[in-house]
Each structure stands twice: as structure tokens, then as C-alpha cells.
């Protein structure tokens, strides 16, 4: 602002230092300053009649900017910094969820719902006539979100991510009208994480795409994609310009429970200022659940937001606590999905893709067709037997079909997500269509592609695999893609295109090379088209931020066949530290009977995983690659149980006919208290809990000197 004759000062500033302002004080002060500064700007630039000196004006702007720096979520489309081209954030920082955001099991048939309720009765040992109340609500097809409030103020908003760690989108979520900045009412818990779904209505989705088309910008496939894309904008003003809604339906960490039922919590959310789904109902039987599902299915097309099913949750929270979780899903809830939509299209070609394990997977290339609001162009054809419709002995396969290029196919999206072939319309088959001949050579490296045989049955494996191993570019590249993927090292900016480029250049041949890329190839990378100083710096920052990694993610990232993220988590819990798992795996590879038995005793680990682990650690090239990688990263020990209990870190075996609780409930309780539950007894077992009829495991406990507890003694140990 240019120098002027100093008028009489009219500045009225709050003297409270910005660092001491509460969120409410900051909001009021920020709004007041915005109005005052805008008025000064108008008087200066439009009226040519400034009412404050430059120094006083600068003080106002300085305080305004300081408040915005400490409370960035206050920035809106009308913020002064937005009007002068403030740079958007470069990316999203990671937020670790205090309580994991887990997924739900799916039910696709009414029989699945009957079995779900039956499992709950068996687990809780309830009689058939004992009532169970369920909270039933439409399953919104949106983006899961966790909102953290401290003393009633919104402090963090994070996406689901991988369930353990999400992205911080706080500045963007604050632009949503249905997300309260402060909670209403009294007796708000000091810490509260409210979870729900961010969505866009169908009407707003159509309007947004019209604007996008007019601006020659990205056209979204469906409301869910548009909601996700809108929320993950680096510039909050873009999010603010998009009409997004939020339904609250769950919670994470909470310091004080305000209700003892699911339905009670939903009612309490409304009192706090949240929008909850008005279609949510309380049901008291399987029949009521199924009737509600049918009713919502009939109303589905008339709703102004997308849903893909109905979620059932046990209403009593104490029962939810007892039921606990299986891996990444709760026992007390299930998603009853709607039948998939179908469409008809033509198979133009079959393309063979090679995965990181060498598997040759046929992918059908389709005439583009809309299915359930999404344009589908590709569909997995699984393997050569599936395409032939018969196995090697000529026997018809229930899952397979005689599929030929040029055929007309009926396609559906399983669970409204994954495209799959439902049927082949034979009366539309062209006369020129011939049976598809599956390749016996790898299309990438030319190595022989073979079908392994099951040693037990003598039957060939359904998958044909490339024998090229590490000389096959496809396997190496796919392994690197998995390594950098979301559930593994989760390296921002290192996607498929980047990995393919770096591998082609010879810069990244194995995982360790990712962490030496900066010191070995930075200069060359800067010379590549599309890689400027900022993008290269961001990439290296993302890589360096992942030099510390959890044991479960690290184990999964190694790409051991049959070890997915859930199995990797079981191994991490079982061995706790990378060195312990590494040393045990080497012993397993050498056939050490004790090490094999110890691994076999871990929850969810069996012969298939043990054999795959042995095969991986027998390969010298794998061991050398692991050693090089271990020099570049620090593998963190598995997280210790948060609760300090008498059995935390102990290994427990349950045997015999338990009478006080079911086997599943006993296992769930032990794991919740930080114990490891094993299926067999060894000298490393701490406790064997024996009910009536305990046999060989009881004898093994006595042999190894393991402490044996009755059910009552176990309950006394864990506090009832």
C-alpha cells in the first residue's frame, strides 16, 4: 500500500496473542479482520480515501495471516489470501487412525443374512427365542471419513486410507456445511472421532459434470468418484465450490461413551449437530432385516444419492465389544449388497497380462458399455480353463465358459465394483469365431509358460506361469508396483508410470534402488520431460518419508506369494520384530521342524504360507535384495498392545469344550487384551486354557511345563 497522509486511526485489534486464541476466538477475530481489511481495501483502491496508515494496515494483515497460518481450515473462497493467489498445499500428510477404520463383510443373498444372525447367536450363546436388535441403515456409496474433535472443536479430518493410516484433508472437510466445526450440547467427550461418509447427490453430480464439460475439464464417472475427487483437491476452494454432504454413522476413539446402543449413538450424533440418515431403522429379527433390505431396494432408484446395499449392526454396544473382530472386519456388522446390474457388449480381443508371480492372466477387451453408472472396457477372464469352459481332462467347469473373440457377453459388476462375465450369448456368435488358443510362452520375455502340478492331487494348477523369474521384466515391474502400493510402502508420486520409466532406464531394478534413486540418478531424472525441480523434490521427500516402515507393511511389500496384507499382519503379531521373522523364515527354508511348527501355530498361517515363505527365503537373489533393502530402511517392531493387561504379549492356547464362553469369543477377548492365540502348544506357550475333554494339547502342556488354567482361572487372570 502506498504512503498516504496519516488519518485518524480506526484500528481495533484484539490484543490476545494469536498463539493463545481458542478456535472460537480465532474464528470471530478472523471474520472481523476480513471484513475490516476488505473495507480498507475498497476505500484505498476504489474510493481513493484510505482511513489507516500503511503501518496500521500492515499490522491488520499480519495478524490476519498469523491466524490463518495457525488455523488454516478457516480459509474459504472469500478469504483474502485466496484472492491474491495463495499457493495450494503440495499434498496431504499422513494421519494414523487411533482406532483402525475397518471394512465390512458382505452378504449377497438372504441366506447369508440368516447365517450372519446365526453366527452371532452361536458366538454369544443366545437361545433362538432371545431377541437381538439390529440397527439397519442404507450403505452410502461415498468416501469414508474420520473426524476428530477435541473438547468439541474439529481438529483433524482423515480419509480411510488403508484402514490404519489415511490422508489429512482437514482444510477441505471444513468447507462442508454438514460437518460441524464445533459440537452442540453439553457433556461432549474430551476426545471424539465421528465417522461417516462424504457423498454427492445425483442431481449435484449431473450439474457438476455439465460445468466440467463446459470448461473442457474432467468428466466424472459417478457421484462417488466426483465426491472423492472433490475432497482430495489440494486447493480447498475447489472443494468448497463442490456440493458435498456428510452422513455420520460410526465412531473411532472416544473418551466417554454417551450411549450404550448403536441407535442411541446415532440419535446423540444428531443432537451434536450431525446429519444422520433418516432411513435408518431398528429391526428385531432376520425377517425384519430382509424386509427392510427389500424396501430400500425398491426405493433405491428414487433416492438422490447412491447406495449399494444395507448395513446391519448389532445394536447393543456391550455385545459389539464381546463379538469383536475377525482380521479387518467386525463380527457384529455386515453389508447386505444389492444384486449387480447387467449389460451386454462384444469381446473385441483377449490380452495376456503377466503378474509379479509370473501368472499369465487373460483380460477381455470389450466394446465400452455402461454398467451401474460406470463405463466398463475390460473384464478378467481368469485363466485358460475358464475361457475353454473345461479343465485339462475335458470336464465342464461350473465357473467356466467357451469364450471366443467376437462373442457377445453379458457383463455385471460383482458387488457393484468388479466387472465379471455372467454369460455368453451363443446365438449371436460370429461364424468366424474360433476357440481361443492360450499362449505357452510368456508374451513379455519369451520364457516358457507352464502349469504347475499339485503334488497331493496330481492335477495341474489352473494358472499358467512364466518361468523367467527375475529376468522377466513384467514380474520385476509388478513386484516394484506392489512394493510402492498403498498397503505396502505407500510412496506418493511413485505410481505405475514412474516405476515403468525408472525400470526401463535401469535406475530401479529392485526395491532398494528406490531409496538410492536420489543420490544416483537425480541429475538424470531432472533431464526427463515432465520432471522439474518441484516434482522431483516432492518425489524424493515422499520416498525419504517412508524409510521407516511397520513390520506388517514391510513383510507384505516383499511380495512373497500367498502373503497378503492380512497374513502379513498375522506374521507381524506373531514375531513382533523383523529380525525374529527373518531368522525364523531362514530356518523354515532349511526345513527346521521347530521353526515350521512355531510358524504353523500362528493364527491364520498354514502349509501354503509356510511353503511360500520357504521358497522365497531359499532363493539367494531374494536374500541379497532383502539385505540391500534393509540397509536403506528401518523396520519398526509391531505395535505393542495399548492396554497394559496381565496377558499382553503372552501366547495362549484354548483347548477342550469351553463352557463359560465360545472358542471364538475366548480368542477375540485374548487378542483384544494383547495376547497371541495359537493353535498348538510349544515350549514358547505361556498359558493353556483347558475345558472339559482337553486331550493332546493338555498332554503337550504338561510335557513342556506350560501353565494350565481352568476357565475360571483364566477369567480371574483377565479380570472377568
Calpha distance 705→358 (Å, rounded): 47
Pick the CATH number of 472-546 from 2.60.130.10, 1.10.540.10, 1.10.150.20, 1.10.1060.10: 1.10.150.20
DSSP letter string, 90-107? SS--EEE-SS------EE
The answer to whether the CB of 492 falls within 8 A of the CB of 91 is yes
Residues of the chain with CATH 2.40.50.140: 342-451
Alpha carbon distances (Å) from 112 to 105, 292, 335, 416: 10, 15, 10, 18
> What pLDDT sits at residue 88?
31
Return all residues near 548 (Cβ < 8 A) that are at least 6 apart: 633, 634, 636
> What pLDDT sits at residue 606?
84
Phi, psi of 241 (to 5 degrees): -85, -5
Residues of the chain with CATH 3.40.50.10190: 651-718
The domain covering 342-451 belongs, at the CATH homologous superfamily level, to Nucleic acid-binding proteins (2.40.50.140)
- Is CATH 1.10.287.610 what the domain over 18-83 is classified as, yes or no? yes
> What pLDDT sits at residue 519?
93
DSSP letter string, 240-275? HTS--EEEEEEEEEESS-S-SBHHHHHHHHHHHT--
> What pLDDT sits at residue 37?
83
Alpha carbon distances (Å) from 515 to 384, 478, 548, 670: 39, 18, 12, 39
Residues of the chain with CATH 3.30.470.30: 106-337
Residues of the chain with CATH 1.10.287.610: 18-83
pLDDT means per 10 residues, the chain with 720 residues, are 40 67 83 81 50 64 80 69 40 85 89 95 92 96 94 94 87 93 92 96 89 81 84 84 94 95 97 96 96 92 89 97 85 91 90 90 91 81 87 57 92 74 92 93 88 69 79 86 91 92 93 95 91 92 94 92 85 91 95 91 83 86 89 88 74 86 80 82 88 82 89 87
**Fold classification of 106-337 (topology level):** D-amino Acid Aminotransferase; Chain A, domain 1 (3.30.470)
pTM value surpassing 0.75:
no
The answer to whether the CB of 166 falls within 8 A of the CB of 101 is yes
> What pLDDT sits at residue 400?
63
Query: In the chain, what's the furthest Cα-to-Cα distance?
Result: 98
Question: Residue 14, class by beta-carbon neighbours within 10 Å (0-12 exposed, 13-18 middle, 19+ buried)?
Answer: middle
The domain covering 651-718 belongs, at the CATH homologous superfamily level, to BRCT domain (3.40.50.10190)
Known active-site residue 139 = yes
Residues of the chain with CATH 1.10.150.20: 472-546, 550-636
> What pLDDT sits at residue 1?
42
Q: Which residues pair with 549 in a beta bridge?
A: 635
Residue from 139, 481, 676, 697 carrying the catalytic annotation: 139
What are the percentages of helix, strand and coil residues in the chain, rounded to 5?
40, 20, 40
Return all residues near 677 (Cβ < 8 A) that are at least 6 apart: 603, 651, 652, 653, 654, 667, 670, 671
Return all residues near 242 (Cβ < 8 A) that are at least 6 apart: 200, 204, 208, 226, 230
> What pLDDT sits at residue 667?
82
Return all residues near 56 (Cβ < 8 A) that are at least 6 apart: 9, 11
Short-list 151, 174, 158, CA closest to 71: 174
3-class DSSP string for 175-209: CCCCCCCECCCCCCCCEEEEEEEEECCHHHHHHHH
Q: Copy the grid coordinates of residue 286.
A: 432376520
> What pLDDT sits at residue 23?
80
- Is CATH 1.10.150.20 what the domain over 550-636 is classified as, yes or no? yes
Calpha distance 381→407 (Å, rounded): 13
Calpha distance 235→241 (Å, rounded): 11
Amino acid at each position: 500500500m502506498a504512503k498516504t497522509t496519516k488519518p485518524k486511526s480506526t484500528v481495533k485489534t484484539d490484543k490476545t496473542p494469536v498463539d493463545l486464541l481458542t478456535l472460537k476466538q480465532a474464528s470471530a477475530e478472523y471474520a472481523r479482520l476480513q471484513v475490516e481489511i476488505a473495507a480498507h481495501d475498497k476505500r484505498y483502491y476504489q474510493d481513493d480515501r484510505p482511513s489507516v496508515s500503511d503501518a496500521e494496515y500492515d499490522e491488520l494483515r499480519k495478524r490476519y495471516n498469523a491466524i490463518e497460518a495457525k488455523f488454516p481450515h478457516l480459509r474459504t473462497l472469500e478469504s483474502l489470501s485466496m484472492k491474491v493467489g495463495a499457493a495450494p498445499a503440495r499434498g496431504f500428510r499422513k494421519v494414523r487412525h487411533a482406532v483402525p477404520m475397518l471394512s465390512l463383510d458382505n452378504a449377497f443373498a438372504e441366506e447369508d443374512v440368516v447365517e450372519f444372525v446365526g453366527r452371532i447367536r452361536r458366538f454369544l450363546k443366545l437361545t433362538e427365542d432371545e431377541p437381538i436388535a439390529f440397527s439397519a441403515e442404507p450403505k452410502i456409496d461415498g468416501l469414508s471419513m474420520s473426524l476428530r474433535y477435541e473438547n468439541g472443536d474439529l481438529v483433524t479430518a482423515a480419509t480411510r486410507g488403508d484402514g490404519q493410516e489415511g490422508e489429512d484433508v482437514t482444510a477441505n472437510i471444513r468447507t462442508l456445511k454438514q460437518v460441524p466445526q464445533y459440537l452442540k450440547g453439553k457433556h461432549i467427550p474430551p476426545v471424539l472421532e465421528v465417522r461417516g461418509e462424504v457423498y454427492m447427490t445425483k442431481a449435484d453430480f449431473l450439474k457438476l459434470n455439465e460445468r466440467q464439460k463446459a470448461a473442457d475439464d474432467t468428466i466424472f464417472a459417478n457421484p462417488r468418484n466426483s465426491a472423492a475427487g472433490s475432497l482430495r483437491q489440494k486447493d480447498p476452494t475447489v472443494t468448497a465450490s463442490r456440493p458435498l454432504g456428510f452422513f455420520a454413522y460410526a465412531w473411532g476413539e472416544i473418551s466417554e461413551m454417551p450411549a450404550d446402543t448403536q441407535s442411541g449413538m446415532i440419535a446423540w450424533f444428531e443432537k451434536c449437530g450431525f446429519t444422520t440418515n433418516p432411513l435408518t431403522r431398528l429391526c428385531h429379527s432376520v425377517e425384519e432385516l430382509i424386509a427392510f433390505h427389500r424396501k430400500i431396494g425398491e426405493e433405491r432408484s428414487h433416492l438422490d444419492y447412491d447406495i449399494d446395499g444395507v448395513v446391519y449392526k448389532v445394536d447393543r454396544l456391550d455385545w459389539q465389544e464381546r463379538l469383536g473382530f475377525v482380521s479387518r472386519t467386525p463380527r457384529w456388522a455386515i453389508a447386505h449388497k444389492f444384486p449387480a446390474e447387467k449389460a451386454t457388449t462384444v469381446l473385441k480381443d483377449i490380452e495376456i497380462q503377466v503378474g509379479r508371480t509370473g501368472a499369465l492372466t487373460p483380460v477381455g477387451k470389450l466394446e465400452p458399455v455402461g454398467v451401474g453408472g460406470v463405463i466398463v472396457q475390460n473384464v478378467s477372464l481368469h485363466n485358460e480353463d475358464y475361457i475353454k469352459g473345461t479343465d485339462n481332462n475335458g470336464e465342464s467347469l461350473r465357473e467356466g465358459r467357451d469364450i471366443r473373440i467376437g462373442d457377445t457377453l453379458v457383463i455385471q459388476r460383482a458387488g457393484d465394483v468388479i466387472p465379471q462375465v455372467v454369460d455368453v450369448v451363443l446365438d449371436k456368435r460370429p461364424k468366424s469365431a474360433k476357440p481361443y488358443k492360450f499362449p505357452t510362452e510368456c508374451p513379455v520375455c519369451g520364457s516358457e509358460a507352464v502349469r504347475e502340478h499339485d503334488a497331493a492331487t496330481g492335477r495341474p494348477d489352473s494358472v499358467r506361469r512364466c518361468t523367467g523369474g527375475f529376468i522377466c521384466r513384467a514380474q520385476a515391474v509388478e513386484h516394484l508396483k506392489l512394493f510402492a502400493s498403498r498397503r505396502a510402502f505407500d510412496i506418493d508420486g511413485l505410481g505405475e508410470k514412474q516405476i515403468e520409466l525408472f525400470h526401463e532406464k535401469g535406475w530401479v531394478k529392485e526395491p532398494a534402488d528406490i531409496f538410492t534413486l536420489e543420490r544416483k540418478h537425480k541429475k538424470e531424472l531432472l533431464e526427463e520431460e515432465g520432471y522439474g525441480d518441484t516434482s522431483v523434490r516432492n518425489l524424493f521427500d515422499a520416498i525419504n518419508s517412508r524409510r521407516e516402515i511397520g513390520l506388517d507393511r514391510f513383510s507384505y511389500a516383499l511380495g512373497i506369494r500367498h502373503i497378503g496384507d492380512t497374513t502379513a499382519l498375522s506374521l507381524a503379531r506373531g514375531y513382533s520384530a523383523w529380525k525374529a521373522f527373518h531368522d525364523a523364515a531362514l530356518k523354515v527354508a532349511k526345513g527346521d521342524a521347530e521353526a515350521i511348527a512355531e510358524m504353523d501355530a500362528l493364527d491364520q498361517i498354514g502349509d501354503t504360507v509356510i511353503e511360500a515363505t520357504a521358497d522365497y527365503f531359499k532363493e539367494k537373489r531374494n536374500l541379497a535384495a532383502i539385505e540391500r533393502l534393509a540397509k536403506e530402511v528401518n523396520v519398526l517392531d509391531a505395535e505393542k498392545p495399548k492396554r497394559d493387561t496381565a496377558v499382553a504379549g503372552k501366547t495362549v492356547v484354548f483347548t477342550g469344550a469351553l463352557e463359560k464362553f465360545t472358542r471364538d469369543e475366548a480368542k477375540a477377548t485374548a487378542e483384544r487384551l494383547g495376547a497371541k492365540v495359537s493353535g498348538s502348544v510349544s515350549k514358547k506357550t505361556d498359558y493353556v486354557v483347558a475345558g472339559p475333554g482337553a486331550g493332546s494339547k493338555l498332554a503337550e502342556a504338561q510335557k513342556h511345563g506350560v501353565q494350565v488354567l481352568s476357565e475360571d482361572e483364566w477369567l480371574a487372570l483377565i479380570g472377568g
